Amino acid sequence: MRISLIQPVILILAVIAPMAIAQGPPAPAVRVDVAEIRSLASTTLVPGTVVSRNDAKLAAEVPGRLISVLDVGSTVTSGEPVARIEDTMLRLRHDELIAEVARVEARLDFLRKEESRFEKLAENNLAAATQLEQTRSDRGVAAGDLAVAQARLAQNEDQLSRTSLRAPFSGVVVERLMMPGERVTEGGEVVRLVDQQMLEVIARAPLEYYRFVMAGMALDLGAMGLHAEGRVRTVVAVGDENTHQFELRIDIEAGVFPVGQTLRVAVPTSELKEVLVVHRDALVLRPEGITVFVLNEDDSVRQAAVTVGIGAGDLVEIRGDVRAGERVVTRGNERLQPGQTVSVTGA
């Protein structure tokens, strides 16, 4: 008698097949966000440039030969030297002036003592009275000479301190305009120093939008896929008569964009109004129109047709069968079908 293996296999398939049909494919994983009411205004993008609020070309205040200049890329703190100028002649002059001050002080001290001595003799001696007047005159001249010598010494010490070119603020050396060994004149530019922490964006927008931009307002900034938020520090209330634009300065955090980066600034073009907004990723573009998938309490989804209004950053206004507080699908919504059950993985 031959035993067939076909019958046991058929029996196994008969048991597994109903189980597979009952389980079905796994629920697709999605991410959701909440539709909410926000104050929003329509915006337009205008170009802006990131600049440092502290950007200076440091110049020499005394002439001389440069001994050292920091390399490009060197980081310095406020008050730290960035370049040094040879000070041999100034130090020699300093020693000379110290000796001059000491000489005048010695003479002034002698004349003061002489004046005291002649004051005692002048009470009964006419000749001593004349010498007293002369001594007093010499003492006054010596006092003036001492003041001049001390002023010259102070001037020399001030020039000596200026042979060390110090950073007026913390920053990075981005350019060496002169090299060690070169002779610099008074006012000659030596290095360019840029503060990479105190940054702002300079942007210009059409004058018709001036009334919608105010100091303290937060604006969206973007460049090369990077996005950040800046706060308007000041609005220049004078428009350019040639371009018919006004200027605004926007404070930004350091580290997001480098100095010199060109970016786009979202400037409001209308008054704020209360609207229902969702994340842009919630919008599904299909031939029949724009829709969003709303998550029901039983983790099934329903499809709602919407129309799009104003947008700001990642948020966009929608109008349709969606209420504030409802959850809408923002990831994994491309292949969803109405009524389909999903698995929420994040928000």
User: Would you state the pLDDT for residue 112?
Assistant: 87
Cα(133)–Cα(121) distance, integer angstroms: 12
Alpha-carbon distances, residue 263 vs 39, 81, 182, 234, 313 (angstroms):
24, 34, 39, 18, 14
Total length of the chain: 347
User: Would you state the pLDDT for residue 113?
Assistant: 86
Name the CATH architecture for the domain at 26-39+274-346: Beta Barrel (2.40)
- What is the pLDDT averaged over residues 277-287? 90
Whether the Cβ atoms of residue 41 and residue 313 lie closer than 8 Å to each other:
no
pLDDT tens, 51-75?
Answer: 999 999 999 999 999 999 999 999 9
- Print burial letters for 248-258: b (CB count within 10 Å at least 16), e (below 16): bbbebeeebbe
- Range 56-84+166-195 has CATH code 3.40.190.10: no
What class does CATH assign to 43-53+198-269? mainly beta
Which range scores top for mean pLDDT: 80-84, 130-134, 206-210?
A: 80-84
* Least confident segment among 17-31, 82-96, 155-169, 218-232: 17-31
Domain boundaries, the chain: 26-39+274-346, 43-53+198-269, 56-84+166-195, 87-162
Whether the Cβ atoms of residue 263 and residue 201 lie closer than 8 Å to each other:
yes
Cα(29)–Cα(8) distance, integer angstroms: 38
pLDDT band with cut points at 50, 70 and 90 for residue 5: very low
What is the dotted CATH code of the domain comprising 87-162?
A: 1.10.287
- Single out the residue of 295, 292, 324 nearest to residue 308, CA to CA: 292
User: Would you state the pLDDT for residue 299?
Assistant: 87
pLDDT tens, 183-238?
Answer: 999 999 999 999 999 999 999 999 999 999 999 988 989 988 888 999 999 998 88
